[in-house]
Chains A and B, each alone.
Chain A
Amino acid sequence: MLWYKSWLETRTRFFIALLGISALCLIRVYIGEIDVFTRLPLLRTVEYRTVLDEGHSMLCFLWMMGVILLTMGGLLREKATGAAPFTLALPVGRPRLLGTRIGMCLAEAVVLAIVPWIVMFLTASVFGEAVSLDQAGFLLALLLSGGMVFFGVALLVSSLVEGEYTAPMVSFGVVFAGLMALNSMSLDKYSPMHFASGGGLIDRHTGLVVGPIPWVHAVEWILLTVFLVAISLFAIQCHEF
């Protein structure tokens, strides 16, 4: 039933994020398909590839925001809304409470990545473009590994700061500041956003991701996320309500 609670708690946000992101992805691919300036369909496949590639970059960004929004919640938010004592009086340990939240957020995050991609894929197919599942899968793998770091950060922040809407605000701040810092110091290769959006792996001429999926890096990002989750768990265990 904790799952039920988690679902009821996040479903509105989840559906809004899902619809919003899918719609924006659809529009991006649609606009890309019909050149907005000439009102003529694009002729070159390469340009079209770039459209999908840009669609993915946009998805990464929106997904990051969506995940931060979904991760808003948990005991510290309930402390602000006043429901924490009720939750804490249930015969459930804090690790399980956090675990359920993580599970629900991850499931929703995965859907939030896959569905917009299906939308982009279908939109492209309707216009008769050849899109390969391999490419979509490649980019998704990048997003779901590198992007996880954003989830980890949002979870950690939500386990440290109280307030109804404080956690997402702080998370956005931390993430943007972090990304800007990495960007300004030309340390893009350490940026999870750079990794998730396929930076450095996309062929500039074809707009395709090339080479094998960088599994090692992917695992590194996931390990970093696991580390952030572990700190969150520790923080929640120690917190006094």
Chain B
Amino acid sequence: MSDSYAIFTDNLGKSFGKMKAVRGLDLAVKPGRITGFLGRNGAGKSTTIKMLLGMMRPTTGEGTVLGKRIDCPRESVEMRRRVAYVSEDKRLYGYMTVEQIIAFTGSFFPGWRPEVAENLLGEYELPRKRKIKALSRGMRTKLALLLAFARRPELVILDEPSEGLDPVGIEQLLRAMAVQCAEGTTVFFSSHQIADVERVADDVCMMEKGKLVLRLSLDEMRKSYRQIDAVFPAAPPELNFRVPGILSVRESGRQLSFLASGDTEAIVDRARDLHAVSVDVAPVGLRDLFLEMVKER
């Protein structure tokens, strides 16, 4: 079961004292795809990623990455040979030069591709001989990405990779992710840049308050998620439409606004039955969906 996923967790949890950072997380990331990992600050994304990589021990539950158990140090080392990770703050060894850290990192990975490192070095315009402590934040991020992409990983885990990058850098990053995926690498990345996620991701996982609140493919979102606005002649007759697929309802005067998936026709029909004067159906963007999912309830 868990082997058919690149990342799989079952009831994964992490507490710091009384604070539960991650609660009963069931994550499943399909191989060969680009998965965006969304959530507000403090939703538990970084903690989850750190548990996946063996930097933190889960308090409850278990998980596998590329079929290797995350709580077993020996299996974790094997797994890390096939995984690339770029951490949130992308700091590296200040005392090494760009060239030195490339040689250093390359030595750990049998599949290291010097030509990829060389190409990205040119594309990202990184100064070879410069010490890392003298690099700007953007350059450091690019260097960290280079070190991840050149190791021919089966899975890359990127924690907020676009942070600190200018628009050109972000474009280069997204393109590199597409290329990595085309070469068979599974890409799992967290981001606050919803528009970027919407462009490049196949699937999306959303976390809120330590829990997974939504997992879906963007094709599915575009195909079956709709925003339905219905205006009624008087105050809306009832808020509960008793139609499956309604994720949320908002009321504003004589207007009802639904976020729905699946059978939108049924909702439209129901609104018409209730004498709605106008019914508008519009596609739902990832931003709307995200804001809806993380809304205070």
Residues of A within 8 A of B (CB): 1, 4-5, 8-9, 12, 81-86, 88-94, 237, 240-241
Q: What residue in chain A is nearest B84 (Cβ atoms)?
A: A89
Complex CA distance for A68 and B103, rounded to whole angstroms:
29
Q: Can you list 29 contacts pairing A with B, beta carbon distance less than 8 Å?
A: A4-B100, A5-B93, A8-B95, A8-B96, A9-B93, A9-B95, A12-B95, A81-B94, A82-B89, A82-B91, A83-B94, A85-B53, A85-B85, A85-B87, A85-B88, A86-B91, A86-B93, A86-B147, A88-B54, A89-B80, A89-B84, A90-B108, A91-B77, A91-B80, A93-B73, A93-B74, A94-B73, A240-B55, A241-B50
- Is there contact, CB below 8 Å, between B100 and A8? yes
Residues of B within 8 A of A (CB): 50, 53-57, 73-74, 77-78, 80-81, 83-85, 87-89, 91-96, 100, 103-105, 107-109, 144, 147
The prevalent SS among residues of A at the interface is helix
Contacts of B109 in A (CB 8 A): 91
Complex CA distance for A165 and B92, rounded to whole angstroms:
18
- Is there contact, CB below 8 Å, between B85 and A93? no
5 pairs of A and B residues whose beta carbons are closest in the complex: A82-B91, A85-B87, A91-B81, A1-B107, A89-B85
- Is there contact, CB below 8 Å, between A93 and B77? yes
Complex CA distance for A120 and B84, rounded to whole angstroms:
51
The prevalent SS among residues of B at the interface is loop
Q: A82-B89, A83-B92, A86-B144 in contact; A92/B77 too (CB < 8 A)?
A: yes
> A159 to chain B: closest CB distance in Å?
16
Contacts of A8 in B (CB 8 A): 93, 95-96, 100
Q: Which one, A83, A93, A237, contacts B93 given CB within 8 A?
A: A83
Contacts of B105 in A (CB 8 A): 90
> B19 to chain A: closest CB distance in Å?
14
Contacts of B55 in A (CB 8 A): 84-85, 88, 240-241
Complex CA distance for A91 and B85, rounded to whole angstroms:
11
Complex CA distance for A89 and B53, rounded to whole angstroms:
7
- Is there contact, CB below 8 Å, between B73 and A81? no
- Is there contact, CB below 8 Å, between B56 and A83? no
Q: What residue in chain A is nearest B78 (Cβ atoms)?
A: A91
Q: A85-B55, A85-B85, A91-B108 in contact; A5/B78 too (CB < 8 A)?
A: no
Contacts of A91 in B (CB 8 A): 77-78, 80-81, 108-109
Complex CA distance for A209 and B53, rounded to whole angstroms:
54
- Is there contact, CB below 8 Å, between B91 and A83? yes
Contacts of A84 in B (CB 8 A): 55
Contacts of B104 in A (CB 8 A): 1, 4-5
Complex CA distance for A89 and B54, rounded to whole angstroms:
9
Q: What residue in chain B is nearest A87 (Cβ atoms)?
A: B93
Contacts of B74 in A (CB 8 A): 93
